[in-house]
């Protein structure tokens, strides 16, 4: 039976909950380490190491370097491990100051200036994107069945109809209005970026009437390119399908609803963004 471990760095534990929902692995794989559910206090030698969370503190970095030495294969799991993630929000307001004040008093780990993706420090064999990744994708990683059988974009998973003759003139705010269950959310004026987001999630958000915010990251067409190319493509889709003024689209793409999520892709904000070979990304 294969051994695997889950190393939790700075994140929210959502990835772990999603993994635990994929109970099909329980009879086939031995979970040797995962602080959330096991009483093992150090990472043992394992075939597979799943790393969730970004590198936000000096302790994260120490644990990461220590754990990868004991692993046959390393998988970066979720937006935080792949792109820095939600822990970066601590730099946006007084949270960082509060944390630093507490750190001095209580000797909690020192913060690094930002939350880094793990491949800034260690070699990664595979990437499992999503916030969190869907349970069925965890199973694909564990079984090694990662050949490309997944949809290329969220649009392919979504199933909503794109209409040529329905062109909204303005954006509709998130979670406002009555959503038609069958029609593409862009036709209804919602800021959905599923057309350039990698598929495989099954589109749970858009099926439920909520625009895709891109948690799976760029699709294969964009993953090896700069983030500006990704953003331009999204704007082009809106130009082709709506009569919404360009400025309104640009403002929408930078609005808190979307920016809150896109902000987690901190690696794309660097001058030299990390380029991950698409073959390694599920
Ligand atoms: S743009 Fe969004 S709502 Fe429209 S088909 Fe694509 S994923 Fe579905
Ligand atoms: S629909 Fe978009 S936001 Fe929702 S899980 Fe899929 S990629 Fe993530």
Under 8 Å between Cβ of 261 and 268: no
Helices and strands in the chain: count of H runs, count of E runs: 11, 7
* pLDDT at residue 259, rounded to an integer: 63
* Ligand at shortest distance from the CA of 213: 2
pLDDT digits (tens, 9 = 90+) for 66-95: 999 999 999 999 999 998 887 776 666 666
pLDDT tens digits along 182-220? 999 999 999 999 999 999 999 999 999 999 998 998 999
Please state the separation of Cα 140 from the chain's center in Å. Answer: 17
Residues forming a β-bridge with 49 = 5, 74
Distances (CA, A) of 6 to 16, 37, 53, 68, 114: 8, 10, 10, 11, 22
In a domain, 277, yes or no: no
Give the pLDDT of residue 37: 87
What distance in Å separates the CA atoms of residue 194 and residue 207, rounded to the nearest whole number? Answer: 11
Domain coverage including residue 14: 2-146
Q: Domain count of the chain?
A: 2
Q: What is the pLDDT of residues 8-51, one digit of tens each?
A: 999 989 999 999 988 777 788 899 999 988 888 899 999 999 99
Mean pLDDT value across the chain: 87
Q: Which ligand is nearest to the CA of 193?
A: 1
Q: Which of 89, 113, 146 is the last residue of a domain?
A: 146
Cβ 191 under 6 angstroms from ligand 2: no
Which residue, among 269, 170, 153, has the nearest Cα to 212 in the 3D structure?
153
Position 281 in a domain: no
Number of neighbours of residue 22 by Cβ within 10 angstroms: 18
- Both 54 and 135 in a single domain? yes
C-alpha 265 to ligand 1 mean position (Å):
21
Within-domain flag for 118:
yes
Q: Which of 124, 146, 168 is the last residue of a domain?
A: 146
Residue 119 sits in the same domain as residue 159: no
Ligand 1 environment, Cβ below 6 A: 154-155, 158, 160, 162, 184-186, 192, 194-195, 203, 206, 212
Residues 125 and 69 in one domain: yes
Compute CA distances 177 → 161, 171, 258, whole Å: 19, 11, 18
Residues 66 and 192 in one domain: no
Do 24 and 96 have their domain in common? yes
Candidate of 152, 153, 158, 203 to mutate for ligand 1, largest count of ligand atoms within 8 Å of Cβ:
158
Torsions phi, psi of 30, nearest 5?
-100, 115
Instruction: Report pTM.
Output: 0.89
Which has the closest alpha carbon to 143: 73, 211, 62? 73
Cα of 116 from ligand 1 centre, angstroms: 30
């Amino acid at each position: 039976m294969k051994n695997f471990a889950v190393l939790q760095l700075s994140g929210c534990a959502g990835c772990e909950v999603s993994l635990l929902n994929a109970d099909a692995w329980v009879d086939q794989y031995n979970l040797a380490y995962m602080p959330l559910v096991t009483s093992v206090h150090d990472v043992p030698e394992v075939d597979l190491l799943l790393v969730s969370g970004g590198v936000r503190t000096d302790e994260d970095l120490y644990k990461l370097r220590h754990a990868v030495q004991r692993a046959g294969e390393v998988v970066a799991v979720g937006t935080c491990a792949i792109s820095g993630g939600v822990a970066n929000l601590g730099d946006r307001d007084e949270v960082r100051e509060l944390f630093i004040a507490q750190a001095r008093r209580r000797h909690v780990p020192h913060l690094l200036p930002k939350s880094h993706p793990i491949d800034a420090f260690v070699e990664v064999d595979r990437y499992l994107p999503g916030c969190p990744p869907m349970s069925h994708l965890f199973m694909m990683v564990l079984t090694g069945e990662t050949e490309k059988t997944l949809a290329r974009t969220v649009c392919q998973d979504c199933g909503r109809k794109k209409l040529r003759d329905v062109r909204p003139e303005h954006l509709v705010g998130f979670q406002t209005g009555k959503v038609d269950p069958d029609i593409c959310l862009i036709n209804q004026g919602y800021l959905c970026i599923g057309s350039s987001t990698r598929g495989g999630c099954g589109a749970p958000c858009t099926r439920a009437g909520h625009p895709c915010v891109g948690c799976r990251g760029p699709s294969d067409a964009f993953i090896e390119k700069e983030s500006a190319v990704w953003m331009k493509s999204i704007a082009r889709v809106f130009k082709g399908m709506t009569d919404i003024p360009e400025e309104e689209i640009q403002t929408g793409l930078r609005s808190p609803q979307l920016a809150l999520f896109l902000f987690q892709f901190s690696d794309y904000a660097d001058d030299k963004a990390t380029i991950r070979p698409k073959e390694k990304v599920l």
